[in-house]
Amino acid sequence: MKPAGLALHQAARAVLPGGVNSATRYVGSPYAFVAAEGARVTDADGTHYLDYHAAFGAVLLGHNAPVVNEAVARALGGVDLMGIGVTRPEIELAELVTELIPSAETTISTMSGSEATAQAVRLTRAVTGRPLLVKFQGCYHGWHDSVARNVISPPERAYARDPLSAGLLDEAVDSTLIAEFNDLDSVRACFERHPERIAAVILEPVPHNVGALLPTQEFVEGLRALTTAHGSLLIFDEVITGFRHALGGYQQVCGVMPDLTAFGKAMGNGYPVAGLAGRRDLMARYESDVLLAGTFNGHPVTTAAAVATMTYLRDNPDFYHRTHRLGERMRSGLSDILGELSTSATVAGFGGVFAVYFTSGPVRGYRDLLRNDGDAYRVFHRRMTEAGFLMLPMALKRNHISGAHTEADIDLTLEAARDVLKSMHTEGLLPGA
């Protein structure tokens, strides 16, 4: 008899392209899920997993966090979707955003991070009257044409033209320039080649879409200075880093203020809510000639989830100390195991995020990641998942610790990782082994 999860996947294929609603959701077994609570999820065949995927990091407090579920239940009995005017929950959310994100003076709501970055790009072009955008190889900013290029590029297409999809408008793809993370000279070169043509530089402050590259302080401060000097705007895409690493996002950590900040994912603990915030004078263009539209923007249910999540984080400052401590426990433990095996690997991460690069360090930018052993990366994640620890079995994907994980969970995970890595070492699957 076929496993229940596989049967569900086959039923899905009859009505969904590929059987999934997002390209990276199909990774084979486990095929489908039926329950989630805290740090654990259950697949359709009744297998339990300790979850480190966390819906690409959207789940921050833990699955089905009571504080969020209770707020959503209350919202269901209140104002429904109006599509006109404004509601009190929308104002409460905006007040929290402007209170917590250091650079936020005013804000708008969207339903997804891709919508937030699309709004940011459009706004910067309107404000500056310039057509070009600079992004960094390895950073992902959503599915829209302007940014859907050069993420996990193979060596032959890295830094060259590497669109993520067929059907993208050529002019939009070619209006985005590619620079190297942690390399200010590569950004300067873009400005030199295209004087007074660059509207904005968009950056994942920590490029988590390729694991966990960490920026130098010189780099983020240099970007701020470069964009200001050239009359361009600086966009921080904090869709992943926002609320996960600090209450005010990574800009709070590094002390560098962007002109615009896109945010989402963890702010609603898994509910579809995101937004864009920034300087009042820039955001005021939404009151005149820049289109802001979206029937479900500020939806009362998703807004309630975000307000509950953000309020909890604000009122429980130890949350970040705890998840950062667990993250360091995981990273240190993995480093010790890999050191014992004398393999070429580097453990990276920040806060509650961790990733193992199967290459020798240091790892500063995407050029360093071209040395990563993608096969070893996928085998490690696959075998950890088979052992009951859910990790996305794709190269360069990060793992997340939520507020529901415990020290015992971390220790249990490290015991399993030791067994998996030892077996990979024995089989000659680790670089340098």
Catalytic positions: 140, 237, 265
Strand segments, DSSP code E, in 54-147 are 106-110, 132-136
The CA-based angle 193-197-198, given to 5 degrees, is 90
Q: How far apart are CA 309 and CA 304, in angstroms?
A: 9
CA distances from 386 to 168, 273, 416 (A): 37, 32, 10
- The one-letter amino acid at 427: E
Structure tokens that stand for 239 in this block: 């869709």
Residues 6+ apart with CB under 8 A from 221: 256
Structure tokens that stand for 74 in this block: 């209350």
Structure tokens that stand for 42 in this block: 């259950």
Q: How far apart are CA 95 and CA 25, in angstroms?
A: 34
Q: What are the phi and psi torsion angles at 176 (to 5°)?
A: -110, 125
State the burial class of residue 134 (Cβ atoms within 10 Å of its Cβ: 0-12, 13-18, 19+): buried
- The one-letter amino acid at 432: G
Structure tokens that stand for 269 in this block: 């603990």
| Helix (H) / strand (E) containing 329 | helix 318-341
Q: How far apart are CA 122 and CA 100, in angstroms?
A: 25
CA distances from 295 to 84, 109, 110, 111, 146 (A): 9, 11, 10, 10, 23
Helix %, strand %, coil % of the chain (to 5) = 45, 15, 40
CB atoms inside a 10 Å sphere around CB 196 = 12
Q: Specify whether the CB–CB gap between 363 and 8 falls below 8 A.
A: no
Structure tokens that stand for 365 in this block: 């930018």
Structure tokens that stand for 187 in this block: 């950004």
CB atoms inside a 10 Å sphere around CB 238 = 33
